[in-house]
Structure 1
Amino acid sequence: MKFIVQWNGLPTAENSVIERFMKTGGQAPEGVKLLGRWHAVGGLHGFAVVEAEDTRGLAALALEWGDLLTMSVVPAMTDEELGAALGAQQAARK
């Protein structure tokens, strides 16, 4: 399943975030596949799209950065997946 992970940090955490990212490379924990990650220019916020079979790796990710960033993790669907769900809903209504 795919998830969107968004993060925000306070300016006071900037040096610590940079240090940790440079040390770890921001690698995803076991069980989480990073599909893409984007960072805002001039701020400690951005988002990533990841894939995971369950939430254990997502919890590890949030806990790893939770002392420096606030994180939001929500399920995500592709256009194709959403289209299939909408098609099934329309068919059920007929």
Structure 2
Amino acid sequence: MKFIVQWNGLPTAERSVIERFMKTGGKPPEGVNLLGRWHATAGLHGFAIVETDDARGLSALALEWGDLLTMSIVPAMTDEELGAALGKHQASH
């Protein structure tokens, strides 16, 4: 399943976020496949699309950065997946 991961950092965490990212490359935990990641051109804001079938990896991701960033992780669907779900819904009503 795909998820949208959004993050925001406090200005006081900027140095620590940069150091950790440069050291780790921001690699996701085992079992979480990073499909793409985008960063704001200024500030500690951004989002990523990840894929996993195991919520433990998402939890590990949130815990790994939780001391420096606030994170929101929500399920995501492609247009095709949403269209199929909407078609099924329409057919049942």
Q: Same fold (TM over 0.5)?
A: yes
- Secondary structure of the residue aligned to 2:42 is coil
CA distance in 1, matches of 2:69, 2:81: 30
Q: Which residue of 1 aligns with 2:35?
A: 35
Amino acid at match of 2:29: P
How much identity, in percent, do the aligned residues show?
83
Which residue does the alignment assign to 1:14?
14
Provide the C-alpha distance between the structure 2 equivalents of 1:15 and 1:81, rounded to a whole number of angstroms: 39
Flag structure 1 segments of 5+ consecutive residues without an equivalent.
Answer: none
Mapped partners of 1:54, 1:89: distance in 2: 27
TM-score by length of 1: 0.98
Q: Helix, strand or coil: the match of 2:48?
A: strand
Displaced runs of 4 or more, over 3 A: none
The aligned counterpart of 2:50 is 50
- The answer to whether structure 1 residue 73 and structure 2 residue 73 are counterparts is yes
Aligned partners of 1:46, 1:91: CA distance in 2, in Å? 37
Aligned-residue CA RMSD (Å): 0.4
Structure 1 position 54, deviation (Å): 1.7
Q: What is the identity, as a one-letter code, of the residue corresponding to 2:12?
A: T
- Tell me the TM-score normalized by structure 2: 0.99
Counterpart residue identity of residue 52, structure 1: T
Which segments of 5 or more consecutive residues in structure 2 lack a partner in the other structure? Answer: none
Distance 1:46 1:86 in 2: 29
- Tell me the distance in 2 between the aligned counterparts of 1:68 and 1:12: 9
